[in-house]
Amino acid sequence: MLGALAMGAVASAQTWIWYPGDYEIWLGNKMNNNRTERGAFFPPFWKSDSHYVTVEFSKQIDLAEPEEIEIYAEGKYNVKFDGKLRFGMPSRFTLPAGKHNLNIKVWNQATPPAIYVKGKTVNTDSTWRVTYEDKEWIDESGKASDTSATIYADAGYWNFNDPATPPSEFSLNLEPMGYVSVEDKTADGGRLYDFGKETFGRIVLKNTVGNGVVNIYYGESPEEALDMEYCETLDKIRFSDGEVTDLATNAVSAKSGDYTLDNTKAFRYVYVAPEAGVTVGDVGMLYEYAPVEYRGSFRCSDSELNKIWDIGAYTMHLTTREFFIDGIKRDRWVWSGDAVQSYLMNYYLFFDSPAVKRTTRLLRGKDPVTAHINTILDYTFYWFIGIYDYYLYTGDKAFVKEIYPRMQSMMDYVLSRTNKDGMVEGLTGDWVFVDWADFPMSKQGALSFEQILLCKSLETMKLCAEVVGDNKDGEKYGRLEASLRAKLLPTFWDEKRQALVHNVENGRQSDQINKFANMFAINLGFFDQAMTDSVMKHVMLNPEVPAITTPYMRFYELESLCAQGMQETVLKEMKDYWGGMLREGATSFWEKYNPEDKGTQHLAMYGRPYGKSLCHAWGASPIYLIGKYYLGVKPVKEGYREFSITPVLGGLKWMEGTVPTPNGEISLFVDRDKVKVRATEGEGYLYLKSKSVPKSSYGKFEKTGDHSYRLWIDTKDEINIKYKQI
């Protein structure tokens, strides 16, 4: 569902509402706590917040005629009408005509307080106000207090539009799936099931007979599933006809027959190994997924690139769940650095704005801030940048307004930990991450990479302050940004090596040069063109600078090349790197891929033979690169109010695709002598390089430079263009 559409829709249809952000925090705890490591529960190591347990919902109503409402609530509640409490917990209530105040206050420790009101015109939606502290005291005479002190927010909501499906009962979709092949591994019933591709869900054990423990070992690879000592995830189910307390194996107890596991796991392979005394008839699974719509599409003349796009989209689908998660096998957590890339890929695939909002809310949690987001310094900054991107792609001012106070307290935390130069360094409790790298990288002192992210975060604060009309703080953030920006080159620029050095410690530039800060400086516009060109040569394309081996940072690396018009190079890189994973048999993209690795080396990470995730959202970056730099579609003004379309074939014979916008789409077909384009939302320029002036069925191209032309598009109809590729 689209953010803007959803918000429009809510004004006319009732939906469950809650305190904004609280539902996400609750649902996020539930999801993050599904991680297991070899059968042990593995919760996050950062602070898990919780919902406000008592929330008041209020609405001023003005009715032409009396109206009966139905009231549903998750929690113990009261109803106050024009300041007077009603007996009990009324589920129906007739509102008289005229102007009145309706207040419903709900307490719920276990799940977020939520209500659903259904009437002819009075319905719960985002126009209701909510507070966790109504300050409605009375004085000795019984006079109610002035409640102007109460801080209200607009109610939070998602898509729970049915009173019978309250928010606390949310679940993803389930669908039965079967394996594609099975192999007997032992004489006594151990079997390896192959589900044909990376997948996610609950295993079903069918027709189980006898008494004893059935061991289930999961693998993203056959090696992992068959390695009972080192596979990352496993389950033990003790089947019997009665109740059994199984202190020895600590297995879950089940009755013989069919049994569906409670918990979900990621796998392609499952090794089911029953103990003597118990047999398993057959194995199945319930595939669990989010019902997202594939709104973006891509096809081109290169079938390998098509495969890369498809596997990227599937990787994104598997990791787009209650929230955008990192990967499905191991953490299954929301990580800010991973999420900010999922958001960008999402804008070119699902354009699921609610998923971005949910993830942003969960990552931030609540005040007080006691650590960086996910405890990682850089991840705090990606969180800010994700909001910048969200606003640019969706134009959703309401969300900026909602999240701005928590942006402020997060930035207060950051600014309370800067050094005397206004720069951030890793302090006690800060994880300075940057990337998983195979080369030495200092985490000491001020890293150029972190300062660039901080600078962009301050710019985000400035932008959002403008959106919400907070001029005073907007100016402050602008001043801090300008001050830090002015210090970046004097502090980190190495004129001789034409690069930003990695860090400065005790006032001295280090010798380390790598691509991280340099590519972010290019992508975020910190260099002028001459410097950019020089950095491209001396860093980005310099084989002596250490190579990046995670798709995570390849995302930004390849973006910086694309932004410099190097689509042909990047196309080759994509075919090499992502194509390389496909040639290794990948059915989803990986957490890390080093082409130098061989065989089972590809499975290892964190000192564990199967520690690596083989389905990791940050592996799917071609989705973003193709949409933004080949189809060439991006927003210029917030929410695609203005777009730009700069198709670049980059060596392809032809390509076609669709890029979703908040309430429409931009579709393209491009080959070497024609372009078909249709934009159902917004207006903007189409940029083309052509040997001669392109001819358009609508409007007229203007020349902007050597072989450079542009066409202003302000129609929703398809436009046919003839041109000559250079």
Under rule CB under 8 A, which residues in 49-108 are in contact with its own copies? Answer: 49-54, 76-80, 85-92, 105, 107
Cα separation, 517 vs 105, whole angstroms: 50
Is 370 a residue that touches its own copies (CB under 8 A)? yes
Site for its own copies (CB under 8 A): which residue of 9, 48, 260, 304?
Answer: 48
Strands (E), 438-575: 446-447, 493-494, 499-500, 503-505, 508-509
Is 608 a residue that touches its own copies (CB under 8 A)? yes
Contacts of 241 (CB under 8 A, 6+ apart): 211, 255, 256
Cα separation, 498 vs 512, whole angstroms: 13
Q: In terms of CB distance, is 361 or 456 closer to its own copies?
A: 361
Q: In terms of CB distance, is 134 or 224 closer to its own copies?
A: 134
Of 23-31, 346-354, 572-580, 646-654, which segment contacts its own copies by CB under 8 A? 23-31
CA distances from 319 to 171, 298, 328 (A): 15, 20, 6
- Give phi and psi for 527, each to the nearest 5: -110, 150
Q: For the beta carbon of residue 610, count every other beta carbon within 10 angstroms.
A: 25
Q: In terms of CB distance, is 44 or 354 closer to its own copies?
A: 44
Q: In terms of CB distance, is 45 or 294 closer to its own copies?
A: 45
Contacts of 553 (CB under 8 A, 6+ apart): 435, 515, 516
CA distances from 117 to 53, 132, 159, 721 (A): 20, 19, 14, 52
Q: Which residues, 194 to 233, sit near its own copies by CB under 8 A? A: none
Site for its own copies (CB under 8 A): which residue of 606, 691, 703, 714?
Answer: 606
Is 431 a residue that touches its own copies (CB under 8 A)? yes
Is 47 a residue that touches its own copies (CB under 8 A)? yes
Of 143-151, 155-163, 282-290, 629-637, which segment contacts its own copies by CB under 8 A? 143-151
Q: In terms of CB distance, is 73 or 349 closer to its own copies?
A: 73
Is 483 a residue that touches its own copies (CB under 8 A)? no
Burial 244-263 (b: 16+ CB within 10 A, else e): eeeeeeebbebebeebebee
Q: In terms of CB distance, is 53 or 286 closer to its own copies?
A: 53
DSSP state of 536: I
Is 543 a residue that touches its own copies (CB under 8 A)? no
Q: In terms of CB distance, is 139 or 706 closer to its own copies?
A: 139
Q: In terms of CB distance, is 445 or 694 closer to its own copies?
A: 445
Nearest 5°: the CA angle 339, 344, 350 is 100
Angle of the 471-492 helix axis to the 448-468 helix axis, nearest 10: 160
Of 152-160, 363-371, 522-530, 567-575, which segment contacts its own copies by CB under 8 A? 363-371
3-state secondary structure of 642: strand
Is 371 a residue that touches its own copies (CB under 8 A)? yes
Is 164 a residue that touches its own copies (CB under 8 A)? no
H/E segment holding residue 723? none
Query: How many residues in the shown chain lie near its own copies by CB under 8 A?
Result: 80
Structure tokens at 148: 């102007």
Cα separation, 357 vs 573, whole angstroms: 32
Is 367 a residue that touches its own copies (CB under 8 A)? yes
Site for its own copies (CB under 8 A): which residue of 140, 229, 262, 528?
Answer: 140
Mask 306-345, x = binds its own copies (CB under 8 A)?
----------------------------------------
CB of 47 to its own copies, least distance (A): 4
Is 42 a residue that touches its own copies (CB under 8 A)? yes
Of 146-154, 169-177, 478-486, 638-646, which segment contacts its own copies by CB under 8 A? 146-154
Q: In terms of CB distance, is 482 or 605 closer to its own copies?
A: 605
CB of 85 to its own copies, least distance (A): 4
Whether residue 368 has a cis bond before it, omega within 30° of 0: yes
Is 722 a residue that touches its own copies (CB under 8 A)? no
Is 136 a residue that touches its own copies (CB under 8 A)? yes
DSSP state of 229: T
Is 247 a residue that touches its own copies (CB under 8 A)? yes
DSSP state of 540: I
Cα separation, 51 vs 366, whole angstroms: 9
CB of 93 to its own copies, least distance (A): 10
Is 38 a residue that touches its own copies (CB under 8 A)? yes
What residues form DSSP beta bridges with 56? 105, 131
CB of 84 to its own copies, least distance (A): 9
Burial 693-711 (b: 16+ CB within 10 A, else e): bbebeeeebeeeeeeebbb
Site for its own copies (CB under 8 A): which residue of 9, 226, 489, 605?
Answer: 605
Q: In terms of CB distance, is 79 or 686 closer to its own copies?
A: 79
Q: Which residues, 432 to 461, sit near its own copies by CB under 8 A? A: 436-437
CB of 434 to its own copies, least distance (A): 11
Cα separation, 11 vs 130, whole angstroms: 16
Q: In terms of CB distance, is 85 or 276 closer to its own copies?
A: 85
Site for its own copies (CB under 8 A): which residue of 5, 11, 97, 149?
Answer: 149
> What letter represents residue 431's amino acid?
W
Q: In terms of CB distance, is 551 or 682 closer to its own copies?
A: 551
Is 354 a residue that touches its own copies (CB under 8 A)? no
Cα separation, 713 vs 700, whole angstroms: 9
Of 126-134, 487-495, 509-517, 703-711, which segment contacts its own copies by CB under 8 A? 126-134
Write the DSSP assignment of 88-127 as a string of letters.
S--SEEEEPSEEEEEEEEEE-SSS--EEEEE-SS---STT
